[in-house]
Amino acid sequence: MAKLLSGKEVTASLNEEIRKKTELLTAHHITPKLGIIRIGEREDDISYERGATKRCETLGVSYEKFLLPEDASEEMVLNTIAQVNEADDIHGVLLFRPLPRHLDENKIINALAVEKDIDGITDRSMASVFLGKQTGFAPCTPSACMKILDHYGIDCSGKKAVVIGRSPVVGKPAAMMLLQKNATVTICHTKTKDMPSVVKEADIVIVAAGRAGVIGADYLRAGQTVIDVGINVNEEGKLCGDVNFADAEPVVDAITPVPGGVGSVTTSVLIEHVVDAALLKAGLAIL
Amino acid sequence: MAKLLSGKEVTASLNEEIRKKTELLTAHHITPKLGIIRIGEREDDISYERGATKRCETLGVSYEKFLLPEDASEEMVLNTIAQVNEADDIHGVLLFRPLPRHLDENKIINALAVEKDIDGITDRSMASVFLGKQTGFAPCTPSACMKILDHYGIDCSGKKAVVIGRSPVVGKPAAMMLLQKNATVTICHTKTKDMPSVVKEADIVIVAAGRAGVIGADYLRAGQTVIDVGINVNEEGKLCGDVNFADAEPVVDAITPVPGGVGSVTTSVLIEHVVDAALLKAGLAIL
């Protein structure tokens, strides 16, 4: 029986931190505010947006939505970004990706002011994660993974960590963050040979494979901590992770459930970044 | 007896490519030009500079040195960078690092125009390497490692690769480049436990430990390809790598010598980047 790494518990603790920070901002007559730019009506985006705005309301953070049609021109999108960059009351911006194909994603993303880039999507934020610098914000999902490890006191130094997945949004930044924590980090992906034996060697496994239940008991052993980033819908229409939870749970030492794991923490990390951006802007914090 | 991966051979082949490109530029009345910014008189810098300018002369690339005193002010350095950015005839810039401590390295580096950043030191170039994008130039040393693997037809896909070292100049970009080649990549460093057993599992080892001869036979086995990035001076005053060559050579399948390995290739990669920057500027190539 593995210890359950509860996203709810980590989120509760993180929300306490956020509340302390918003109180400090309130004392300075500042309300932190999130700007949300969504192009089109993709269901995943709307669901994530709903979670984010609800969490904003719970935590005393305001928000403003900038909704553009699926066929918005590059100029329209760039104008919207210029608008949020200039808006004095908006501290952080969530821009949903991938953008529709007719838009130049690289150009648009990098138009965003780096100090408002709370999901670490600009090149400058990415470079900070890569270089291990304390400037800019890291992407929220891998940051949530680190929050979970930190909350449960899982020391990474000298440990073998395996990251499954090499996306710029999760896998690669997670690997860099584990490296920053002094883990010996291995990155696996679809071209990895005999992945089960590679993953079995890890003390800490971060799974961002993007496919439901693909990581089964043959990848796992006693003593491991498993963080499951996957959010999928299985054949019965239920939410599930990339790890086969029923197989994994009796084997490993600790594991995050899906739902109730990384996802919930990610939303609070996003809000924390907005609040941190507001603190930084007000000179009430330094990175 | 390992196969020797000769830097000289790779350089000769690379220089042929560079000559073809400079011929194309010459036909368009363009002489590629390298700008060198050196602050102070550090011996390592001067030695690398000498190698670079000699290689420029061999390959028909011109160069201009911008030499500043060790105590140069930030303003002086930024002015010099503005000057090379604006100089229409300078296609690529080599800026020696680390900068003297009184200078804001992050600020100065990122003042350099990304299209002239032929050693991949700016955040935007770093982000390209991290994201595996085909924009900007990668740092020359890890690029040289990849050139050696490519030249000798060493396929990385699905192979286990270990990088020893996590510096932003070599270890981290090398890891990202191996990942781009579909290797399963592990990054080791000073906090790695039982490094010999981790390194022994690798098919391809890139060593950037920064200490003379620390990688001995206990780290190595038959079947491995070893790329030694280290350049050190041993007790007898001779150049040597981070790998104990005498121990390693009888064991592994293939290895780069030091001197005569990565270093020589790095210099030609630098020149190739200058030439590529000139081609890109002239619209004679696309990335």
Instruction: Give the pLDDT of chain A (287 residues) as one tens digit per residue.
Output: 899 999 999 999 999 999 999 999 999 999 999 999 999 999 999 999 999 999 999 999 999 999 999 999 999 999 999 999 999 999 999 999 999 999 999 999 999 999 999 999 999 999 999 998 878 899 999 999 999 999 999 999 999 999 999 999 999 999 999 999 999 999 999 999 999 999 999 999 999 999 999 999 999 999 999 999 999 998 899 999 999 999 999 999 999 999 999 999 999 999 999 999 999 999 998 76
What is the model's pLDDT at position A183?
Answer: 98
Give the whole-angstrom CA distance, residue B136 versus residue A158: 34
From the candidates B135, B162, B184, which should be mutated to test the interface with A, based on the most A CB atoms within 10 A? B184
Q: Is residue A287 domain-resident?
A: no
Using CB atoms, pick whichever of A106, A126, A185 lies closest to residue B187: A185
- Among residues B57, B105, B55, which one has the least CA distance to residue B77? B105
| Interface pTM, i.e. ipTM | 0.95
Q: Is residue A132 domain-resident?
A: no
What is the model's pLDDT at position A287?
Answer: 62
Q: Is residue A272 domain-resident?
A: no
Same domain, A155 and A225: yes
With CA atoms as reference, the chain B residue closest to A189 would be B184
CB atoms A185 and B186 under 8 Å? yes
Span B188-219, pLDDT tens digits:
999 999 999 999 999 999 999 999 999 999 99
What is the model's pLDDT at position A286?
Answer: 72
Span B141-190, pLDDT tens digits:
999 999 999 999 999 999 999 999 999 999 999 999 999 999 999 999 99
List of chain A residues whose C-beta atoms are within 8 Å of the C-beta of residue B175: 187
Residue A228 in tokens? 């499951």
Question: Angle at Cα A127 formed by Cα A123 and Cα A130, nearest 5°?
Answer: 135
Give the whole-angstrom CA distance, residue A34 versus residue A61: 7
Same domain, A211 and A147: yes
What is the model's pLDDT at position A235?
Answer: 87
For residue B134, pLDDT over 90 is answered with: no
- Range 210-269 of B in CB contact (< 8 A) with A: none
Q: Which domain holds residue A100?
A: 29-114
List of chain A residues whose C-beta atoms are within 8 Å of the C-beta of residue B133: 106
Same domain, B144 and B188: yes
With CA atoms as reference, the chain B residue closest to A191 would be B158
- Measured CA to CA in angstroms, residue B76 lies from B40, B49, B69, B117 at distances of 13, 21, 10, 19
Q: Does B129 touch chain A (CB under 8 A)?
A: yes
Q: Does A181 touch chain B (CB under 8 A)?
A: no
What is the model's pLDDT at position A34?
Answer: 98
- Residue ranges in B64-205 assigned as alpha helix (H): 74-86, 105-109, 123-131, 140-151, 171-180, 195-200
To the nearest 10°, report the CA torsion of A53, A115, B175, B133.
Answer: 90
Q: Is residue A6 domain-resident?
A: no
Which residues are A160's β-sheet partners? A184
Q: Is residue B99 domain-resident?
A: yes
What is the model's pLDDT at position B287?
Answer: 62
Span B14-67, pLDDT tens digits:
999 999 999 999 999 999 999 999 999 999 999 999 999 999 999 999 999 999
List of chain A residues whose C-beta atoms are within 8 Å of the C-beta of residue B106: 133, 135
Same domain, A154 and A90: no
Same domain, B50 and B148: no
Q: Is residue A126 domain-resident?
A: no
Q: Report the gap between the CA of A131 and the closest CA in chain B (Å).
A: 6
From the candidates B117, B122, B123, which should be mutated to test the interface with A, based on the most A CB atoms within 10 A? B123
Please report the DSSP string for B53-92 in residue order: HHHHHHHT-EEEEEEE-TT--HHHHHHHHHHHHH-TT--E
Q: Does B182 touch chain A (CB under 8 A)?
A: yes
Same domain, B157 and B78: no
- Among residues A39, A119, A118, which one has the least CA distance to residue A80? A39
Q: Does B93 touch chain A (CB under 8 A)?
A: no
With CA atoms as reference, the chain A residue closest to B191 would be A158
SS3 content of chain A, % helix, strand, coil (to 5): 45, 15, 40
From the candidates B131, B194, B200, which should be mutated to test the interface with A, based on the most A CB atoms within 10 A? B131
| Residue A166 labeled ligand binder | yes
Same domain, B144 and B89: no
Same domain, B51 and B110: yes
CB atoms B172 and A123 under 8 Å? no
Query: Residue B214 sits in a domain of what CATH number?
Result: 3.40.50.720
Same domain, A34 and A108: yes
Q: Is residue B124 domain-resident?
A: no
- Measured CA to CA in angstroms, residue A13 lies from A19, A86, A114, A182, B58 at distances of 10, 33, 27, 25, 63
Q: Report the gap between the CA of A122 and the closest CA in chain B (Å).
A: 9
- Residue ranges in chain B assigned as alpha helix (H): 7-27, 43-59, 74-86, 105-109, 123-131, 140-151, 171-180, 195-200, 245-248, 262-281
Q: Is residue B237 domain-resident?
A: yes
Question: Domain count of chain B?
Answer: 2
Give the whole-angstrom CA distance, residue A184 versus residue A180: 10
What is the model's pLDDT at position A135?
Answer: 82
CB atoms A131 and B128 under 8 Å? no
Same domain, A97 and A155: no
Give the whole-angstrom CA distance, residue A25 versus residue B273: 49
Same domain, A145 and A258: yes
Same domain, A102 and A144: no
Query: Residue B57 sits in a domain of what CATH number?
Result: 3.40.50.10860
